[in-house]
């Protein structure tokens, strides 16, 4: 581990600039899902317990360097106060943060207004980063979900202050290191979703690092078509057939087995409870679409999971939004969850659709780790260096 955690820092009497991700969904002025807020609570409580004064730095939406009142962090204050059980005060300007009032000093936690209101944030302007750093004594990054962005508040500040990972960032990095850095083998990866073209780097990296690569969803159709099989009217990137064959060749050379559906669930339309049937993978009718993997495929996945020690999951196996085409995803997810709960499997999952699918299956709580990060999780799986993580390794002092 080449980055520091809160355990390595003396926080007593220190101002701790804490980058968090509380970019939560809001409707009619109320937070509708406080998950991201709840997940930063351990870090804030730890800083306070160690005698530090946290000033939270966060973004909300994409105001593009301008003040947009509808994107003020004021909307999250009530949810933040409730989650923390502490007094939280919004600091509306950098000038206000540099010259705190007595009321602000008395608050347990300070929240700086939307950092993306400032053009210097996304430009990673050195002067802006230096000014931000002047607001604190220590920098703590607890926003893995923004670690793929080289912004002033994710990388720039770390050049000027002693820096560390917060508890959420620490948990993310530890889980991902266990899954891809030094995993227990065999390692199996499940990659689903609509398009091969959006996950080329991911697939190319995984075939060299895992023992089994399960491909599902619309992506599987492209690989099936690349093998000369008919996929009817299914979602399929036929133009990516050559790329799919290259990936299969790369996997074979690396000793990675690619697992595709052996049987399929087909229907005439993309709709919930549409008339459907289970067929062998080579029997897809020309006028039907593949919407899920079949029961034989699920049984095979269960055996693969049984033999595995580590599982990485990104993307559903079928049209999980529609019943009954969520069956393969649900069954596979529940089996992985059972193995994880029993201590037989280390399971790490991430990505928006993935989290939704696992929660819909009732399996999310029993996975070893569920990442709420989207782009950062994918880029890590692709083998890319994340600027926000790299900055913690080259921190000032």
Q: Check the annotation: does 300 bind a ligand.
A: no
Tell how far CA 135 is from the center of its chain.
29
Q: Check the annotation: does 116 bind a ligand.
A: yes
Q: Check the annotation: does 354 bind a ligand.
A: yes
Q: Check the annotation: does 377 bind a ligand.
A: no
Tell how far CA 107 is from the center of its chain.
32
Q: Check the annotation: does 182 bind a ligand.
A: no
Q: Check the annotation: does 60 bind a ligand.
A: yes
Reply yes or no on whether 209 is catalytic. no
Listed residue (3, 50, 18) closest to 141, CA to CA: 18
Q: Check the annotation: does 81 bind a ligand.
A: no
- CB-count burial class (<10 Å; 0-12, 13-18, 19+) for 261: buried
- CB-count burial class (<10 Å; 0-12, 13-18, 19+) for 65: middle
Q: Check the annotation: does 93 bind a ligand.
A: no
Q: 191 and 213 in contact (C-beta within 8 Å)?
A: yes
Q: Check the annotation: does 364 bind a ligand.
A: no
Buried b (16+ CB within 10 A) or exposed e, 160-193: bbbbbbbbbbbbbbebbebbbeebeeebbbbbbb
Dihedral sign for Cα 66, 67, 70, 75, please.
positive
Q: Check the annotation: does 286 bind a ligand.
A: no
Nearest-10 crossing angle of helices 41-49, 167-176 = 120
The active-site residue, picked from 74, 86, 130, 195, is 195
Reply yes or no on whether 375 is catalytic. yes
Q: Check the annotation: does 351 bind a ligand.
A: yes
Q: Check the annotation: does 96 bind a ligand.
A: no
The active-site residue, picked from 65, 134, 268, 375, is 375
Q: In what order do the strands lie in the sheet with 276-280?
A: 276-280, 263-267, 289-293
Q: Check the annotation: does 294 bind a ligand.
A: no
Reply yes or no on whether 350 is catalytic. no
Q: Check the annotation: does 199 bind a ligand.
A: yes
CA atoms within 13 A on the CB side of 107: 21
Reply yes or no on whether 195 is catalytic. yes
The active-site residue, picked from 36, 89, 131, 167, is 36
The active-site residue, picked from 51, 249, 352, 362, is 352
**CA 49 vs CA 9, 12, 131: distances in Å:** 13, 9, 27
Strands 53-57 and 109-112: parallel
Active site residues: 36, 195, 352, 375
From the annotation, which residues make up the binding site? 21-23, 36, 59-62, 116, 149, 199, 321, 351-354
From the annotation, which residues make up the binding site for substrate? 21-23, 36, 59-62, 116, 149
From the annotation, which residues make up the binding site for ATP? 199, 321, 351-354
């Amino acid at each position: 581990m080449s980055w520091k955690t809160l355990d390595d820092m003396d926080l007593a009497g220190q101002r701790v600039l804490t980058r968090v991700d509380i970019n939560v969904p809001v409707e009619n002025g109320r937070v509708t899902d406080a998950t991201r807020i709840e997940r930063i609570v351990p870090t804030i409580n730890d800083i306070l317990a160690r005698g530090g004064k946290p000033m939270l730095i966060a973004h909300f939406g994409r105001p593009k360097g301008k003040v947009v009142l509808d994107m003020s962090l004021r909307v999250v204050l009530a949810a933040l106060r409730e989650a923390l059980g502490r007094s939280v005060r919004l600091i509306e300007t950098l000038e206000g943060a540099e010259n705190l009032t007595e009321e602000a000093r008395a608050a347990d936690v300070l929240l700086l207004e939307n950092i993306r209101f400032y053009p210097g944030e996304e430009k990673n302007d050195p002067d802006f980063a230096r000014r931000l750093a002047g607001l604190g004594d220590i920098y703590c990054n607890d926003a893995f979900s923004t670690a793929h962005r080289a912004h002033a508040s994710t990388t720039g500040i770390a050049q000027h202050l002693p820096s560390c990972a917060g508890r959420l960032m620490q948990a993310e990095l530890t889980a991902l290191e266990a899954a891809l850095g030094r995993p227990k083998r065999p390692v199996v990866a499940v990659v689903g979703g609509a398009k091969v073209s959006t996950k080329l780097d991911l697939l190319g990296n995984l075939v060299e690092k895992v023992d089994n690569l399960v491909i599902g969803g619309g992506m599987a159709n492209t690989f099936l078509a690349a093998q000369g099989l008919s996929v009817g009217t299914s979602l399929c990137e036929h133009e990516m057939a050559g790329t799919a064959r290259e990936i299969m060749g790369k996997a074979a050379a690396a000793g990675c087995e690619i697992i595709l559906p052996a049987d399929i669930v087909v229907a005439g339309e993309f709709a919930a409870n549409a008339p459907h049937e289970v067929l062998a993978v080579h029997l897809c009718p020309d006028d039907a679409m593949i919407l899920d993997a079949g029961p034989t495929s699920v049984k095979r996945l269960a055996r693969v999971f049984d033999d595995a020690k580590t599982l990485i999951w990104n993307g559903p196996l079928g049209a999980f939004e529609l019943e009954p085409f969520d069956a393969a995803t649900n069954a596979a997810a529940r089996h992985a969850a059972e193995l994880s709960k029993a201590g037989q499997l280390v399971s790490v999952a991430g990505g928006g659709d993935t989290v939704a699918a696992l929660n819909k299956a009732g399996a999310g709580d029993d996975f070893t780790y569920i990442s709420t990060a989207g782009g950062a999780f994918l880029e890590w799986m692709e083998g890319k260096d994340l600027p926000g993580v790299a900055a913690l390794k080259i921190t000032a002092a």
